[in-house]
Amino acid sequence: MQKESNTKNSYKKNSTLSSQNNIATNPIDKSGLVAKINILGSGMNSVKTPHGYSNYHSEKSYGVIDYASFIKETNEIVRNHKDLRDSLNAFHNMFVNRLNCTYTAIGLINEQSNYVNVKLLDKNSTVYSFKVFMNDKENEIIKSLDTGEISIISNSAFLKVPSLVNVPSVIIPIQVQGRNICIALASDYNIQNHISLYQLAATNLGLLVQNSSLYEKVSQNSYIDSLTNLYNHRRFHELLLQEMEYAESSKTKVSVLIFDINDMGEINREYGHSKGDEVIKLVANKINENIKKQDIAARYGGDKIAVILRNMNAEEAKYMAEYLTYTLSCCLVDDIGPVNKVSVGIATYPDDSMDKEKLLILAEQAVLVSKTKGYKNGRSTIVSTQDYDFWDDTALSSFAAVMAKRHSQLGINFEEALVEQFQNENILSQNHLIEVVTSLASAIDAKDEYTKDHSSSVSRYSVALARAINLPEKEIERIKLGSLLHDVGKIGIPEDVLTKPSKLTDEEFKIIQQHPTIAVEKILEPNPLLHDLIPIVKYHHEQWNGKGYPCGLKGEEIPLAARIVAIADTYHALISDRPYRKGMSVEKACSILEEGAGIQWDKELVRQFIAIAPSLATKI
């Protein structure tokens, strides 16, 4: 095949063509392009043959093309089609409908693999895809790219599409800043008269391809952490969600490892932030180099690296974590030494949670538990969420720390999450129930330093009073649990009201009065094991004279257990420090109880309590 006409940056006149076939360089010059377009009305077309160009009738005679309308449609495609594939399809449809094209194609250059990836659509929208390698110097596509010039070819056998062998083709290399970025191809039997239209479309295609490439690079960069070259925190969340969806569909597991580099604050202070960055980069690189190809590493936070392990349960993930921490311990950093102080936490989907945020909360909790456990044999203790009891003091305080951070980031409330965990707890025995209830109450008390240990103290006092009046052991156990949970409804009270150091307003006091009802509705009623505690928790603020809340019960209408807890609750409040006063002495607290006996509290119960008060802890 012989190239009959070439163009570099503009379509050049071929010496074999007569002057009447020249294409005007100004596309809006009426004596140029428009005049040529009007030739379409005759239905005659010129096609190159081995001996030159000959005229013949096209399959379909098209009328005069409205150039302004053509430009408008081209601009609309560029403006309205954000996706490159949609844009190419729109251009194809435009050329088929307006110019009766036999096919259109675009070839995207893959510089790394050194080939042109061609996608071709024929008149029936049948798709053909093939690669043309850059070293195939005899291929017409490569020839046009090498010269940077437009080529018109009479026979399209180089496309290797049987139905297109005998059709002409125009090949237009598209450059940006002197560099080939793609190549456009098309065919109709009026190529000569349509060449400027193809050039216009090719220019817009070039802009689309360039913009698409830039957008892809920007998008890719927006996913990458600049220090470690790992995925960033945002992309990590997106990929984890995808992996969880894959695990659900494939009935497999996915584990999350979080590595927390310890002592980073000390490193930054002593050696500077550049040394700290060096440590983070080293840890990131070593982790990324030693995980499987299918696994994903990302920078999770300032000094945290997270890894998503596809198709791994907790035990397998722990094995991987051990291997990675060993690898890190073999790495030395100048002035610092081996990287062996890395805390590691593991959580697994769906075993630990089927919710992404909850899964990450548990992984972060495991990291904090790992920190408290320190190091064994010079390396970190690796902790899975399945390795510890959630209600253990260390685990619970770690959970509180994670939830406090999450509250500021995502609005996740610690108390709400704690109650949800409580409701989902699988209670195995009465002792287990007591342990969990105690931990729940202590965690909620801890939100205010002045009420810390309040629930456990009230429980001890209530049990002591119940024993003093010789209640059955089973009832004492019920009072022990009920008193532990007597204030758990404060979970729903705004903190600024709950911890207000000055006197509450009438409106604020009404809010506080809601806590017994909140406790019943949120904690007790959803759990059948706790239903018999409802009378204790709901009525412990009722008064003997009927002026208490929430129901205004009086005298013996108030359940005995609730009357016991009411006295223990008041006594501990009196002897404890508050922001507005110091805790009272045992004698003063007992005298106040005595003054209220028969008015606020059961007179006989007050008498019994005053008798045992000196033997109780005097102040918490």
* Spatial distance between the Cα atoms of 38 and 87, rounded to a whole number of angstroms: 28
pLDDT, mean of residues 505-531:
88
Other C-beta atoms lying within 10 Å of the C-beta of residue 367: 25
pLDDT given for residue 295 in this prediction = 94
* pLDDT of 320 over the 90 cut: yes
Pick the residue with more confidence: 409 or 123?
123
* Spatial distance between the Cα atoms of 530 and 329, rounded to a whole number of angstroms: 49
- 226-407 against 413-620: fold identical: no
Q: Burial-class residue 168 by CB neighbours within 10 Å (0-12, 13-18, 19+).
A: buried
* 278 phi and psi angles, rounded to 5 deg: -60, -40
pLDDT given for residue 88 in this prediction = 80
* 368 phi and psi angles, rounded to 5 deg: -65, -35
pLDDT given for residue 198 in this prediction = 81
Which pair of structure tokens corresponds to residue 548? 């208490």
Amino acid, res. 156: S
pLDDT given for residue 405 in this prediction = 63
CA triplet 593, 598, 604: central angle to 5 degrees?
75
How does residue 28 score in pLDDT terms, banded at 50, 70 and 90? very low
Give the percent of the chain with pLDDT over 90: 30
Pick the residue with more confidence: 297 or 43?
297
Statement: the pTM of the whole predicted model exceeds 0.75: no
* Spatial distance between the Cα atoms of 197 and 70, rounded to a whole number of angstroms: 8
pLDDT given for residue 407 in this prediction = 52
* Spatial distance between the Cα atoms of 294 and 336, rounded to a whole number of angstroms: 32
Dihedral angle at the C-alpha atoms of 430, 432, 437, 439, nearest 10 degrees?
160
How does residue 92 score in pLDDT terms, banded at 50, 70 and 90? confident
pLDDT given for residue 536 in this prediction = 95
Three-state DSSP class for residue 189: coil
Amino acid, res. 410: L
pLDDT given for residue 127 in this prediction = 87
Where are the domains positioned within the chain?
A: 67-222, 226-407, 413-620
CB 168 within 8 A of CB 189: yes
Other C-beta atoms lying within 10 Å of the C-beta of residue 383: 26
Three-state DSSP class for residue 306: strand
* Spatial distance between the Cα atoms of 447 and 213, rounded to a whole number of angstroms: 52
**Which among 106-120, 446-460, 470-484 has the top mean pLDDT?**
470-484
Q: Considering only 14-18, 178-182, 302-306, which range has the smallest mean pLDDT?
A: 14-18
pLDDT given for residue 388 in this prediction = 79
pLDDT given for residue 213 in this prediction = 61
* 476 CB-side CA count, 13 A: 13
Give the percent of the chain with pLDDT over 70: 80
* pLDDT of 414 over the 70 cut: no
Mutual angle of helices 586-596 and 560-575, in 10-degree steps: 140
* pLDDT of 260 over the 50 cut: yes
pLDDT tens readout for residues 152-181: 988 888 998 888 888 999 998 988 777 887
Classify residue 450 by its DSSP letter: G
* Spatial distance between the Cα atoms of 5 and 171, rounded to a whole number of angstroms: 11
pLDDT tens readout for residues 468-506: 999 999 999 999 999 999 988 887 777 777 777 677 788
- The domain 226-407 is placed in CATH, from the list 3.40.50.300, 3.30.70.270, 1.20.120.400, 3.40.50.10110, at 3.30.70.270
* pLDDT of 13 over the 50 cut: no
Pick the residue with more confidence: 16 or 608?
608
pLDDT given for residue 215 in this prediction = 52
CB 184 within 8 A of CB 199: no
Long-range contacts, 96-100 (Cβ 8 Å, 24+): 96/123, 98/62, 98/65, 98/70, 98/73, 99/62, 99/65, 99/188, 99/190, 99/194, 99/197, 100/58, 100/59, 100/60, 100/62, 100/188, 100/189, 100/190
* Spatial distance between the Cα atoms of 281 and 287, rounded to a whole number of angstroms: 10
How does residue 25 score in pLDDT terms, banded at 50, 70 and 90? very low
* pLDDT of 42 over the 80 cut: no
Classify residue 112 by its DSSP letter: T
* CATH class held by domain 413-620: mainly alpha
Pick the residue with more confidence: 49 or 575?
575
pLDDT, mean of residues 8-21:
32
How does residue 558 score in pLDDT terms, banded at 50, 70 and 90? very high
Mean pLDDT of the chain: 79
Q: Tokens 């022990």 — which residue? A: 480
Strand (E) or helix (H) holding 279:
helix 273-290
Three-state DSSP class for residue 252: coil
Q: Considering only 115-119, 262-266, 395-399, which range has the smallest mean pLDDT?
A: 395-399
pLDDT given for residue 87 in this prediction = 76
Question: 345 forms bridges with which residues in the sheet?
Answer: 258, 383
Report the first-to-last Cα separation within the chain, whole angstroms. Answer: 99
* Spatial distance between the Cα atoms of 513 and 527, rounded to a whole number of angstroms: 23
Pick the residue with more confidence: 376 or 611?
611
Query: What is the sign of the dihedral through the CA atoms of 488, 491, 492 and 497?
Result: positive
pLDDT tens readout for residues 231-241: 988 889 999 99
* pLDDT of 19 over the 60 cut: no
pLDDT given for residue 47 in this prediction = 35
If you count DSSP H runs as helices and E runs as strands, how many of each does the chain have, helices first? 22, 18
* Spatial distance between the Cα atoms of 381 and 410, rounded to a whole number of angstroms: 29
Of 347, 330, 161, 153, whose CA–CA distance to 253 is shortest? 347
Under CATH, domain 67-222 is a member of which superfamily? GAF domain (3.30.450.40)
* pLDDT of 46 over the 60 cut: no
CA 253 to chain centre: 18
CB 103 within 8 A of CB 186: yes
* pLDDT of 603 over the 70 cut: yes
Question: 174 forms bridges with which residues in the sheet?
Answer: 182
- What's the longest Cα–Cα distance across the chain? 125
pLDDT given for residue 377 in this prediction = 59
